[in-house]
A and B are shown apart, each in its own frame.
Chain A
Amino acid sequence: MGRYIARRLLIAVPTLIAISFVMYAILALAPIDPLSQFGADPRIPPEAREQIRHALGLDEPWPIRYVKWIQGMATGNFGYSFMSHSPVIELLLQRLPNTLAVVGVAYIVGFIIALPIGVFSAVKRNSVLDHIFSTGAYIGFSVPTFFTGLVLIIIFSVKLHWLPFVYDSNLKVNDFGTLVQQLRQSIMPIAVLGLFEAAVLTRYIRAEMLEHLPLDYVRTARAKGLLERFVVVRHVLRNSLIPVVTIIALGVPTIFGGAIVTEQVFHVPGIGELLVRSIFQGDTPVVTAVLMIFAVLVVAFNLLADVLYAALDPRIRYS
């Protein structure tokens, strides 16, 4: 197992370098540049534009910029944002808590909702409730989050005036009052993302459960006279969750990537919002940093998923 992990880590290095190169090349060749922010304004004369381009280092050929950038990355220097002139890492650290508080919590909420529903739907297959849950799940992952987000805003913010829809990232939770405030401002984005996540996971859990329920060991368990509750929870569920754990592990990097649309709708200053804005503004140091971190996480969690899989399922051995 140790050797397996070491080998996978070694393979990860060239993979990440290849990803970084392709990503950088695409960004460098894309017809977008930070100076487009100035538009055709006559008050930014050509001379000033060239000076700014030079100050940002954009007058160098992109392969040279790539080498400089990857050297920086190797030493943990993520570079400086073209727009804010501050270190990219600071921007990321400022945004990570918001993303975790909303997208991360939504992920957990989604799992907590999906687990009982998935199990129930499988055990009571084809019951009325199963049909209702299934229909709900299909609607859940078919309706785009920007739509559900807007519907919630119109109901709870505009009509009822119950909840704010402009997220306050300065809020510090230190007593009951601020905790309530935090819940009020994050409940809508968490609901939107959590229900979407739950809809997807429900289907997985239900499918896995259905696959295991008719198996011999389940019959054996029942034959032993175990309570049905124990059969389902201790035997079927545990085995069914093995692939689900993998899916959840693989989904963790997407948490860090933020939820681009939902963050935008609710003014949550998360990593997804940062990424999409930086793309539009041509702020390449930020874009490359976010994408690179994302790449590292994907590679890492892929490995983690494989390792977890082996740990949970004794039949699987890597050598």
Chain B
Amino acid sequence: MMHHRRALAAFGVAMLVAAACGQAAPSPSGGAATATAAAAKRGAGGDLKILYWQAPTILNAHQATGTKDADATRLVMEPMASFGKDGLPVANGLAAEIPTTSNNGVSKDFKTVTWKLRTGVKWSDGTPFTAKDVQFTFKYQCDKATAASTFDRCDNVDSVVAKDDTTVVVTYKESQPFYYQWGVGGGSLILQEKQYTSCVGAAAKNCAADQKPIGTGPYKVDSFKPGDVVSYSMNENFRDPNKPFFKSVTFKGGGDAQASARAAFQTGEADYAWNLQVDATVLRPMAQQSTLADLKTVYGSSVERILVNFSDPSASLGDKRGEPDTKHPFFSDKAVRRALAMASDRNTVATRFYGDGLTGKPTCNILTAPEPMNSKSSASLDVCKFDLAAANKELDTAGWVKGSDGVRAKGGIKLEVTYATTVNAVRQNVQNVMKQNWEQVGFKVTLKSVDAGVFFTNTSPDGANHFWTDVEMFTNSGDPDPTSYFNGWTCAQATGKANNWNFGNYHRYCNKDFDALVDQLRKETDQNKRNDLATKANDLLLTDVVVIPLVNRTFATSGVSKTLKGVDPTPWDSEMWNIADWTK
């Protein structure tokens, strides 16, 4: 169930693009899309078969519970623009161009963004699309009672107003360096006002439109069986007369990752198979020997990491267990944390379990993308180098002495670590490698694995949120704008009883210096300075050993038929972001 993490990554998608602020010039139109066959004709292809081992259950990205839903919706509905590979917007959606400071689309104070929409766009039912629909989408999505899972797009947004039929103005309450937050990417798909007008607020629940949405995208829904299959046919009203290429699309769900891989590589029953998270030793030969399909991956900000607990998880504390105001018995000593980091062998893990670049590569950065924010200094940090001797020395110096059982202790406190993660073959292998090394430097390690559904339940005592163990491991990812990601390590976000373990700082880490960096990140508008701040925040989390990043995992890991052209996943948007350009 590791997929949850990345699942979200794709659908929340959006925050990206910090890189876009200011000077960077986004590509004008479809720039990131790879070569589209010039001769492509609408409907020239037959049926495109897409296989997701998690089946879509709802066709409204704003009500999605995972990538599967947002991706299945993306064939039908579009945002104003998509996020390309570099985290910058690409105008392959409803906007005619990307607003920037240089074309006066973005105000000098970074508060208002003026979007120019394409003219003559029609919904698949033949009615005209206008800026009113965009304004309506904001009303729907940002009404609290709608309970949209894309609600984070609304943060700091004051209004979205249709000035005329083809102009939309997005106004932020405060200066917003990440001014593409609302309107770009998978979290900002535009709904048809006519269809959704009675589905706003509390009425959004159980809205029939979510089963058969009308969109402006290249395909339209013919039939949808939740949890099973979506059948689409081409949208005759799509704005580009030469697209889409396929007459119909079958978006089938179910099975598991390995079966999906088999369908793509061995039997050819799928033209596109999603998220093939199969053990690297199985996946590699399958992909290499296949005459039918290729493995296509893209790296983004998904990082498998080990979190260090700063609070005291001892059960004897009762109500105080793991609360932010408690102190971890030995991780409060930085030397112990440093030793743990130095005894963590990320290279072996990446090579053996992630196929050395097949589905992941070693990283010591907690923020790996976009590239200008990917810290270069971490490589030389001592905590990023696997060195058992140095780890032993660190603990010796700090006065942690090995007992007869090989476990170090100081003042009656033993270095006994409980290490939790989800039930998952790869993760259990990683746990074993870590345990072996950590025990060599004098930790005693107890391994624990919890069903992913339980692990990610905020109220579960065995869950990641409670973090009633000493270290835990899972994957998370950030946005091109890392502000909300880093916010998860600030003092105010410390999770605990008071917030029903809903807050994002599971470590209960609190450091004024780090908070100050995140505050600056919220306000800074100069892109170079932002990159610098993000890198600093990354480095601080490493040197303070709050978190031990292990592997940068592929964001998209798809089996793509050798005959299918135009697939070009971006780590910041839905894998289906450019499906209008896919051909055979």
What is A's interface to B at a CB cutoff of 8 Å?
31-52, 54-56, 80-81, 83-87, 91, 94-95, 153, 157-158, 161, 164-166, 168-170, 264-265, 267, 269, 273-274, 277, 280-282
Q: How does the 8 Å CB contact mask read for B464-490 relative to A, with 1 for contact and 0 for none?
A: 110000000010101100001101100
Given contacts A43-B187, A165-B262, 15 further A-B contacts (CB under 8 A): A31-B460, A32-B453, A35-B457, A38-B4, A38-B65, A39-B8, A39-B456, A40-B456, A40-B504, A45-B504, A48-B148, A164-B269, A165-B267, A273-B254, A282-B453
- Complex interface: chain A residues within 8 A of B516 (CB): none
Set of chain A residues within 8 Å of B5, measured between Cβ atoms: 39-41
A35, A37, A42, A273: the one contacting B504 at CB < 8 Å is A42
Tell whether, in the assembled complex, residue B152 and residue A48 are in contact, meaning their CB atoms are under 8 Å apart: yes
CB atoms of A40 and B464 under 8 A apart: yes
B226 contact from A38, A84, A161, Cβ within 8 A: A84
B159 at the interface (CB under 8 A from A): no
The docked-state distance in angstroms from the alpha carbon of A48 to that of B484 is: 14
- Cβ contact of B65, chosen from A34, A54, A87, A91, cutoff 8 A: A34
Q: Is the CB of B269 within 8 A of A166?
A: yes
What CA separation (Å) do A63 and B4 show in the bound complex? 30
Residues in B with CB closer than 8 Å to A39 are 4-5, 7-8, 452, 456, 474, 476
Contact B255 A267 (CB under 8 A): yes
Distance (whole angstroms) from the CB of A162 to the closest CB of chain B: 10
Q: 1/0 per position for B129-168, CB-CB distance to A under 8 A?
A: 0000000000000001111110110010000000000000
In this complex, the member of B5, B12, B225, B252 whose beta carbon has the largest number of chain A beta carbons within 10 angstroms is: B225
- 6 pairs from A and B in contact (CB 8 Å cutoff): A43-B8, A43-B484, A45-B152, A46-B499, A47-B151, A83-B226
Q: A48-B151, A86-B206, A267-B254 are in contact. Are A38 and B225 (CB under 8 A)?
A: no
Q: Which of B14, B207, B227, B229 contacts A170 (CB 8 A)?
A: B229
Known pairs A34-B65, A55-B145, A91-B226; A166 contacts B458 (CB<8 A): no
Cα A274 to Cα B55 in complex, Å, equals 11
Chain A residues in 8 Å Cβ range of B465: 40
Chain A nearest CB: distance from B230 CB in Å?
Answer: 10
Which residues of B in the span 7-58 have a Cβ within 8 Å of any Cβ on A? 7-9, 12-15, 51, 55, 57-58
Known contacts: A267-B254, A269-B228. The answer to whether A52 contacts B147 by CB under 8 A is yes
| Nearest neighbor of B8 in chain A, beta-carbon distance | A41
Known: A40-B474, A40-B506, A170-B223. A164 touches B267 (CB 8 A): yes
CB pair B456–A55 under 8 Å, yes or no, is no
Shortest 9 CB-CB contacts between residues of A and residues of B: A43-B12, A84-B226, A46-B502, A55-B147, A269-B228, A41-B8, A48-B151, A83-B57, A31-B460
Report the Cα distance A84→B227, complex, angstroms. Answer: 8
**What residues of B have a CB within 8 angstroms of the CB of A157 in the complex?**
262, 266-267, 269
Interface string of B494-508 (1 = CB under 8 A from A): 000001001110100
CA gap between A47 and B13 in the complex, in Å: 18
The 0/1 profile, CB within 8 Å of A marked 1, for residues 232-257 of chain B is: 00000000000000000010101110
Q: Is B231 an interface residue (CB 8 A)?
A: yes
Contacts A32-B453, A83-B227: A166 and B58 contacting too (C-beta < 8 A)?
no
By the criterion CB–CB under 8 Å, are A38 and B149 in contact?
A: yes
Name the A residues within 8 Å of B474 (CB-CB): 39-40
- A38–B254 Cα distance when bound, in Å, is 19
A114 nearest CB across to chain B (Å): 30
CA distance A215 to B146 in the complex (A): 73
If A48-B147, A157-B267 touch, does A94 touch B205 (CB 8 Å cutoff)?
no
Chain B residue numbers with a CB within 8 Å of A42 are 476, 478, 484-485, 487-488, 504
Judging by beta carbons under 8 Å apart, are A44 and B254 in contact? no
Across the interface, do B457 and A31 meet the contact criterion of CB distance under 8 Å? Answer: yes
> A83 touches which one: B65, B202, B205, B207 (CB < 8 A)?
B65
B459 contacts partner chain A, Cβ-Cβ < 8 Å: yes
The answer to whether B256 touches A264 (Cβ under 8 A) is yes
**A99 CB → nearest B CB, Å:** 12
Q: How far is the CA of A268 from the CA of B476 in the complex (A)?
A: 32
Q: Which one of A37, A41, A91, A269 contacts B12 once the chains associate, using CB atoms below 8 Å? A: A41
Question: Complex: how many Å from CA A158 to CA B452?
Answer: 31
Q: Which residues of B contact A91 (CB under 8 A)?
A: 226-227
Bound Cα distance from A149 to B335, whole angstroms: 53
A41, A81, A166: the one within 8 Å of B252 (CB): A166
B502 near A169: Cβ-Cβ < 8 Å: no
Q: In the complex, what residue of chain B is closest to A79 when comparing beta carbons?
A: B206
Task: Tell me the minimal C-beta distance from B63 to chain A in angstroms.
Answer: 6
In the complex the two chains form, what is the Cα distance from A202 to B341 in whole Å? 61
Q: How far is the CA of A51 from the CA of B142 in the complex (A)?
A: 12
B228 x A94 contact (CB < 8 A): yes
* A265-B254 contact, Cβ under 8 Å, with A46-B502, A55-B202: no
- The answer on a CB contact under 8 Å between A280 and B453 is yes
- B205's contact among A55, A265, A273, by CB below 8 Å, is which? A55
Q: A165 — which chain B residues lie within 8 A by C-beta?
A: 259, 262-263, 267, 269
Which residues of the other chain, A, contact B65 by a CB distance below 8 angstroms? 34, 37-38, 83, 281
Whether A166 and B270, one on each chain, are in contact in the complex, defined by CB atoms closer than 8 angstroms, is yes
